[in-house]
Amino acid sequence: MGGVKLFSRNALPADLRAQVDAHLGRRPRVLAWGRTEDGAVVALHDRLVRVIADDVTQLGWHDVLRGGWDDENQRMRWVQMSTGEEFSVPLVAPGSFPEVFKERVEATFLFQTAIYPKPGKAVTISARRNLMDDGDRVLWTAHPAPGVRMDEETVAFTEAELGRLRAEYAF
């Protein structure tokens, strides 16, 4: 009697698996993946890996500022926090990738609040866990809402609040 491999229907195809393994120098556990026309997006515990033909890139979940699934256009969209770069990746077979994307990004948040350096002008302060760092490094960030100018007064207020919150929530 032959054995049945659990979840084999959802397993990353061998060619994509080989590219991901070679890029990372190890064989990671794949949580989910979605097929694109020319490759895939792969969700690992600590990062998103994107395979486009022979090119493989990675992005830590903590570096996703915002994003999610665009059901109408069948695309994953996200903004990379460290660069501001926007990504829009059409998926021909999304599988459970959109749900896992959302869960992994949310898993990085320890704390988030809005501060108001001026009436009606918000800056969001977040403490996020870097899942790629075995030391559980916490990254504190401040992001102005659209239309908020980071002038000297706003920067000074934001830095003071960031310092206060870091001391209060000593993660």
Does residue 47 carry a pLDDT above 70?
yes
pLDDT score for 9: 53
Please report, for the chain, the start and end positions of each structural domain, with discontinuous segments joined by +.
8-107, 109-168
Buried b (16+ CB within 10 A) or exposed e, 37-75: eebbbbbbebbbbbbeeeebebbbbbbbbebebeeeeeb
Phi, psi of 24 (to 5 degrees): -90, -15
d(CA 106, CA 43): 13
Q: Kindly report, residue by residue over 60-69, the tens digit of the pLDDT.
A: 999 999 999 9
- What one-letter code names the amino acid at 112? Q
What fold characterizes domain 8-107?
PH-domain like (2.30.29)
Please compute the mean of the pLDDT values over residues 65-81 and round it to a whole number. 96
pLDDT score for 10: 65
> Residue 3: which pLDDT band, with cuts at 50, 70 and 90?
very low
